Amino acid sequence: NAGVTQTPKFRILKIGQSMTLQCAQDMNHNYMYWYRQDPGMGLKLIYYSVGAGITDKGEVPNGYNVSRSTTEDFPLRLELAAPSQTSVYFCASSRTRQDLTGELFFGEGSRLTVL
Partner 1 sequence: AQSVTQLDSHVSVSEGTPVLLRCNYSSSYSPSLFWYVQHPNKGLQLLLKYTSAATLVKGINGFEAEFKKSETSFHLTKPSAHMSDAAEYFCVVPKAAGNKLTFGGGTRVLVKP
Residues that bind partner 1 (CB under 8 A): 4, 31, 40-45, 48, 50, 58-59, 90, 92, 97-104, 106-109
Pairing status of strand 10-13 against strand 110-114: parallel
Q: Least Å distance between CB 85 and partner 1?
A: 19
- From residue 96, give the alpha-carbon distance in Å to each of 51, 62, 83, 112: 11, 26, 34, 29
Q: Least Å distance between CB 99 and partner 1?
A: 4
**26/108 with CB nearer partner 1:** 108
Q: Least Å distance between CB 3 and partner 1?
A: 9
Q: How far apart are CA 97 and CA 71, in angstroms?
A: 15
**85/94 with CB nearer partner 1:** 94
Closest CA to 47 of 106, 92, 79: 92
**26/79 with CB nearer partner 1:** 26
Q: What is the rounded (10 degree) CA torsion for 103, 60, 24, 16?
A: -160
Q: Least Å distance between CB 63 and partner 1?
A: 19
